[in-house]
Chain A
Amino acid sequence: MRWLVQLRMRIRMLFERGKAGAQLDDELRFHLERQIAENVAAGMSAEEARFAALRAFGNPALLREQARATWSWTWLELLLHDVRYGVRTLGRTPGFAIVAILVMALGIGANVALFTVVRGVLLKPLPFAEPDRLVALYEHSADDQYPYNVIAPGVFAEWRRQNRSFSDLALFGDAEFSLSGASGQLPEKVRGASCTWNLLSTLGVQPALGRDFTAADDRHSANATVLMSWGLWKRRFAGNPAILNQFIHLDGQSYTVIGILPAGFAYPDAATQLWTPVYHYEPAAYMEHIENHQFQAVGRLKPGVTAAQGVADLSVITRRLRDQHPENPFVSKAANMRPLLEDMVGDIERPLLVLLAATGCVLLIACLNVANLLVARAAARRKELAIRMAMGGGRLRLLRERLMESLLLSAAGGTMGLLLAYGAVRWLVSTRQGMSRVEAISIDGAVAAFTVALIALCALFAGLISSLSAKGNQLLLSLQDSARGTSTGRAHTALRRSLLAAEVGLTVVLLISAGLLLKSYQRLRSSDLGCITQNVLTMRIGLPGARYKTPGPAPVNFFETLLGRVRALPGVEAAGIVEAVPGQGYWQDEGFSVVEHPPLPQGTAQYAIFRWADPGYFAAMGIPLLRGQTFDPNRKLDRANQAIVTAAFAKQYFPNEDPLGKHLKDENEDREIVGIVGDTRYSLAENPQPIQYYPLYAGKENSGTLVIRSSRDVEALAMPVQRILQEIDRDLPVSDVLTMDQLLGKSTQDESFNATLLATFAALSLLLAAAGLFGVLSYIVEQRTGEIGIRIALGARREQVLRQMLLDGLRPALFGLVFGLAASVGAARLIRSMLYGTRPLDPAVFAAVAATLLLVAAVACLIPAWRASRLDPIQALRME
């Protein structure tokens, strides 16, 4: 029964609190009245009786508080009271509140956004069964040049057959399909993968619809089958399940759609939309090569087997193969592996963590700034607080109020920040579709929890720092020195100055990191590719192998017709076709020997990047022909046995002789070197490598990049060229229609993204630090108005006052700068691997940052200092 009474009591205390309060007052008043009455009865005068009763009674306010403290819900009441009080005090200075909330919103928003990305990409486990047992496998090349080289299919077959450490091993390679249009749709290029039948089962994934591959599908004689991604199925086939067991046409061949993968499945990457069995897709002989490195593999370790044991097992098998083929220098000598998650996101881990660290700095600066503002307010309210304390305001209560104020600020800021983060994450996901695991990024419960924790942390940090300055024991002092405006609050300004120095220091670190990345990006973009990049349009063309057999005349005829018609278009200055343009990537290399040279020692090899190119390509891209001539356009198919090499190639392989007229020999063919062309870079970040060009008109390649150069707006040519392609072959999709500038921009997207983002954060910090400097000096000037007035009245020169105030304001900036420069040395080391052509301790960047910071600090301090020097002494003194 007691609980019922208590419950009734609790409900009453919750809903009839006001009435209970009035009753308490009444009860206490009654007590007092009785005491007075008794005192009167005892013979005291009315006034005496009253005083005696009051004395015995004690502090009625305190008594009331103590009685109320026993009530239930008191914590809630106090909280509400604090909130109300906090809102009211903040509302009295809306400017301050808005600035502080915005600062917090930016800081928290940036952190939440970055945390969301880091969590999705780096922290969430891969969406596969027992992902800890999955490893990405590589070969370790015999010449130690490529410790993580891609895999030859023949080697993989041996691994699969002989290993005892893996419960499953799966192989996969890139494939690009042209998906023919049905019912009036345009043909389309789709990225895909050719994989062994067990790829999905190795990962532990089931198709969402239909069935997985079986071993029977993964043979050259099997019917063509394909699995489709959820996204492609939804987009292209309207999510219609009737597509199952129907045919689609890839590269002009019929494939049966046997299954749809679950939404969110993205392996090897998010761009892969189709999967087909590799032993069916590739010629049988091709899959037996042990030196042709074209594939990647993933393995599932048996329970209890470590990755090191697994890789040792595979290495033994690889070594045995190498020993069996001592004459072949391209057979690897060992295996290698990486945990699957690291393999997928390893290259973006550091940039992401650097950005996260940067946002952490921004938040810290934001907190310091808000703390700084709170300290300033506390200073302005010293008198009020001192009076409250003198009247018995609990110290804890005052601290709680301070914390509540900063909690309100950071909660409002955090809520706004979460919205900002939501927008930022959506923007990021849509602009960075190519990023690994971008599909795993989402704002969820953990992110919300992180936001709440961040809000609490910021509130505590800013609140406690500002409370530190409100030393209660100086109560009398405060009351005294507020009475006359002497130079007050030394302790306050000292704290604010150290906060400022910390802020400036962090800003310097951010500025220098951003400066280094920007410089590196600039270097990257201005590195000489070796060809014309202005007004050049590129597009990828892939001819379906079924109708354009290689080797054969069909692709040659197609390319010749195409080039002839494109070159005739008005506005086209030149056009050519090459396997891959400079900046488009490494693509592939090929081993060769020089017929005129003595044979290489057994087991050693020479190899260089090679490209198929048409005779007009070099002229079209402005790659200079240094000596000799280009391919003879009249030599086709078997007669097209010529080669062109680059200057770097000539220098490396023909150091003291004339390469012209010599012959390069690969497995099948001798080719005479007829020309030497200028060097080009396959990637902006890499130095020029030796390249060998083979004639496209040999008819051995049926895909490539078409390049078109124009004297004016080259993008306008995209449509007419695509129309020509459609006229020649209706079923031919074109992809990656990009100008050279766009192509290079895309290839340096990561660098540009990182540098831009970091620069934004740095600029933000600089702004915050400048605002901090301005605020503190303004405050100091205001505090010292009387003193300055007296000085001026006594004859101090205004320049003198200006100089002194300026120095006063700049001192924390100088401290911060020194501290920041020292810290930057460490930070620059951390981002060293992200830099291209820029030293971590680049003096120009350091100097520029120091100069910028000093300039900004000086400007921020100049206004209050100037105001101080313009003080009218009479007015300043009258203000007292």
Chain B
Amino acid sequence: MGKPNDLVQGTLDLLILKTVSLGAMHGWAIAKRIQQISAEVLQVQQGSLYPALHRLEQQGWIAAQWAESETGRQAKFYSLTAAGHGQLEKETVQWNRLSAAIDLIVSEA
């Protein structure tokens, strides 16, 4: 079983922040959403998702709250904090710069 496309180191944080910025969401939904929006290209491994969520929470970019999920069971919902908004903007700008640069090199060649 080959590994699905490994996310570029560091981009998972950006994806999570962006996803969560749309509204509070639990872990499974976040993974699902990333997968859906990227048209099944990006597969988030649980092995990286939950450590990343917890790290972002520890750093104060996202906050967690327990609430009833769509199935009626209690689940942990993550949402973006004020500081997280700033971080998302910063990372987005960085990502744009980086992808534009890579794009330039690739199309040039």
- Does the CB pair B50–A67 fall under 8 Å? yes
Q: A353 on the interface (CB 8 Å rule)?
A: no
A26 within 8 A of B: yes
- A70 B74 Cβ-Cβ under 8 A: no
A30 proximity list for chain B (CB < 8 A): 26-28, 69, 73, 75-76
- Contact assessment for A26 and B74 in the assembled complex, using a CB-CB cutoff below 8 Å: yes
**Which residues from 2 to 54 on chain A have a C-beta closer than 8 Å to any C-beta of chain B?**
2-3, 5-6, 9, 13, 23-24, 26-28, 30-31, 33-35, 37
Contact B60–A9 (Cβ < 8 Å): yes
Given A30-B75, A31-B27, A70-B54, A5 and B81 contact (CB-CB distance below 8 Å): yes
What's the minimum C-beta distance from B33 to chain A, rounded to whole angstroms? 13
Q: How far is the CA of A33 from the CA of B27 in the complex (A)?
A: 12
**CA A844 – CA B53 in complex, angstroms?**
76
In contact, A34 and B28 (Cβ under 8 angstroms): yes
- Closest chain B residue to A64, Cβ basis: B50
Number of residues of chain B lying within 8 A (CB) of chain A: 26
- Assembled-state Cα–Cα distance A23/B82 (Å): 24
List B residues 55-109 near A (Cβ within 8 Å): 55, 57-60, 63, 66, 69, 71, 73-76, 81-83
Cβ–Cβ contact B57 & A56, under 8 A: no
A762 to B28, CA, bound (A): 69
Does residue B2 face the partner (Cβ distance < 8 Å to A)? Answer: no
A584 adjacent to chain B (CB < 8 Å): no
Q: Complex formed: what's the CA distance from A6 to B57 in Å?
A: 9
Q: Does A96 contact B (CB under 8 A)?
A: no
Q: Mark B31-66, 1 if CB is under 8 A from A, else 0.
A: 000000000000001110011011101111001001
B31 to chain A, nearest CB (A): 8
Q: CA separation between A23 and B71, bound complex, in Å?
A: 18
Contact present for B51 and A27 (CB under 8 Å): no
B residues within 8 A CB of A62?
47
8 Å CB interface, A46-92 against B: 56-58, 62-63, 66-72
Q: Please report the C-alpha to C-alpha distance between residue A23 and residue B69 in the assembled complex, in whole angstroms.
A: 15
Shortest B58–chain A CB gap in Å is: 6
Given that A2-B83, A34-B28 are contacting pairs, would A9 and B57 also be in contact in the complex, using a CB cutoff of 8 Å?
Answer: yes
- Which residue of B46, B50, B53, B54 contacts A56 across the interface (Cβ within 8 Å)? B46
**CB < 8 Å: which of B57, B73, B82, B83 contacts A33?**
B73
Contact A27/B58 with A2-B83, A63-B46 known, Cβ cut-off 8 Å: no
Q: Is the CB of A67 within 8 A of B59?
A: no
By the criterion CB–CB under 8 Å, are B76 and A27 in contact?
Answer: yes
Indicate whether A6 sits within 8 Å of B50 (C-beta atoms), given known contacts A26-B74, A30-B69, A30-B75. no
**Number of residues in A with C-beta < 8 Å to the partner?**
30
Among residues of B, the one whose C-beta sits closest to the C-beta of A68 is B54
- Known: A26-B74, A30-B73, A69-B51. Contact between A5 and B60, CB under 8 A? yes
Q: Does A396 contact B (CB under 8 A)?
A: no
In the assembled complex, A1 has its CB within 8 A of some CB on chain B: yes
Most chain A beta-carbon neighbours within 10 Å: one of B28, B75, B83: B28
List chain B residues, Cβ under 8 A from A56. Answer: 46
- Residue numbers in B under 8 Å from A23 (CB-CB): 66, 76
**Nearest residue, chain B, Cβ from A31:** B28
In whole angstroms, how far apart are the Cα atoms of A57 and B50 in the complex? 11
Residues of B within 8 A of A31 (CB): 27-28, 46, 50
Check A5 against B63 for contact (C-beta < 8 Å).
Answer: yes
Contact: B60 with A6, CB < 8 Å? yes
Task: Please tell me if the beta carbons of A67 and B27 are within 8 angstroms of each other in the complex.
Answer: no
B84 to chain A, nearest CB (A): 9
Chain A stretch 577-616: residues in CB contact (< 8 A) with chain B = none
Contacts of A24 in B (CB 8 A): 50, 54
B46 touches A71 (CB 8 A): no
Residues of A within 8 A of B53 (CB): 67
A644 to B80 Cα, complex, angstroms: 109
A1 touches B83 (CB 8 A): yes
A302 to chain B, nearest CB (A): 64
Q: Which residues of A contact B55 (CB under 8 A)?
A: 70
Q: Please, which residues of chain A bring their CB within 8 A of the CB of B71?
A: 34, 37
Please name the residue on chain B nearest to A7 by beta carbon: B60
Contact indicator per residue, chain A 167-208, by CB within 8 Å of chain B (1) or not (0): 000000000000000000000000000000000000000000
Bound: A6/B61 CA distance, A: 9
Q: Which B residue sits closest to A33, measured CB to CB?
A: B73
Nearest 7 interchain pairs by C-beta = A5-B60, A2-B83, A70-B55, A34-B28, A70-B54, A67-B50, A6-B60
19 A/B residue pairs, CB under 8 Å, sorted by A = A2-B83, A5-B63, A6-B58, A9-B57, A23-B66, A24-B54, A26-B76, A27-B27, A30-B26, A30-B28, A31-B46, A34-B28, A56-B46, A58-B45, A67-B50, A69-B51, A70-B54, A70-B55, A71-B58
User: Could you tell me which B residues sit within 8 Å of A by CB distance?
Assistant: 26-28, 45-47, 50-51, 53-55, 57-60, 63, 66, 69, 71, 73-76, 81-83
Q: A9-B60, A26-B74, A70-B55 are in contact. List 4 more A-B contacts (CB 8 A).
A: A30-B26, A33-B73, A35-B28, A71-B54
